[in-house]
Amino acid sequence: MKMYLSNIFTNPEMQDKYMDILVSSFLPLVKGAFYYTIPLTLITFAIGLVLAVLTALMRLSNVKAFQWIARSYVSIIRGTPLLVQLFIIFFGLPSIGVTINPFYSAIIGFSLNMGAYNSEIIRAAILSIPKGQWEASHSIGMTNFQALKRVVLPQATRVSIPPLSNSFIGLIKDTSLASTITYTEMFRKSQEIAANNYEFLLVYSEAAFIYWVICVGLSFIQDRVENRLDQYVAK
């Protein structure tokens, strides 16, 4: 470590070399982020959100069978490691004749995961809307569905933004696990680069930095959205 640091600070030749590595790997990494990591994140988050709302509504419904399906789904997904789920989908399913390419395997794995975790967020958000909002909706003649759609869900959306942002940021980082099922997103790109030049510390740190910049950007957007919608929730 001493040598590494002294090289960085005193050896102009080595400084140039490190700089070259950082610069030359930057574009492939950013490309990995924009072409693979971010699209994978957005697609799985969107599918996951639909699954999450459906699961939350099933949990909250009066139909026992729906409740049971939703509970089992959430329990299985939350109770097993994401990495193991990805391996089952990509490496396991082919033994029963179901072969799915890395991209779709990742989409399925991450979407199922998001659906399960976010359903709890959405369920809690729906339950947090005061009972009076349902009653007021009913009093003007709305059905349960109308009250949900027009009054409760819009407010629950606002309530769920902070925890959903949390899970979105978590998802961006978790997509690095897709590297293990041969999906070439940003982290796998960095592994390939480092495998060539052996500068593991430098290249992985650079990848980490890019993840961090993306997440900081997202937190910034989250704050603005939250502030804008803050007033529209019954307290």
Partner 1 sequence: MITVKGLNKSFGDLHVLKNINMNVDRGEVVVVIGPSGSGKTTLLRSLNILETPEQGEITIGDQSIDFSKPVKKKQVVEFRKQTGMVFQNHNLFPHFTALENVMEGPVTVQKISKAKARERAADILTKVGLGEKLDSYPHQLSGGQQQRVGIARALATGVEVILFDEPTSALDPELVGDVLDVMKELADEGMTMVVVTHEMSFAEEVADRVIFMDQGAVVEEGPPEQIFQHTQEPRTQQFLNRIRK
Residues making contact with partner 1 (CB under 8 A): 130, 132-133, 135-136, 138-144, 146, 150-151, 154-155, 158, 231-235
Nearer Cβ to partner 1, position 2 or 131?
Answer: 131
Q: Provide, rounded to whole angstroms, the least separation between the CB of residue 156 and partner 1.
A: 11
Nearer Cβ to partner 1, position 138 or 173?
Answer: 138
Residue 177 to residues 107, 186, 206, Cα–Cα distance (Å): 12, 11, 17
Q: Provide, rounded to whole angstroms, the least separation between the CB of residue 193 and partner 1.
A: 48
- Is the separation of the CB atoms in 49 and 197 below 8 Å? no
* Neighbour-count burial of 128, counting CB atoms closer than 10 A to its CB (0-12 exposed, 13-18 middle, 19+ buried): middle
Nearer Cβ to partner 1, position 94 or 132?
Answer: 132
Question: Cα 25 vs. chain centroid, distance in angstroms?
Answer: 25
Q: Provide, rounded to whole angstroms, the least separation between the CB of residue 123 and partner 1.
A: 20
The tokens for 6 are 């002294």
- Is the separation of the CB atoms in 200 and 192 below 8 Å? no
Q: Provide, rounded to whole angstroms, the least separation between the CB of residue 118 and partner 1.
A: 21
Q: Provide, rounded to whole angstroms, the least separation between the CB of residue 134 and partner 1.
A: 9
Nearer Cβ to partner 1, position 28 or 154?
Answer: 154
Nearer Cβ to partner 1, position 154 or 170?
Answer: 154
Nearer Cβ to partner 1, position 64 or 131?
Answer: 131
Q: Provide, rounded to whole angstroms, the least separation between the CB of residue 125 and partner 1.
A: 14
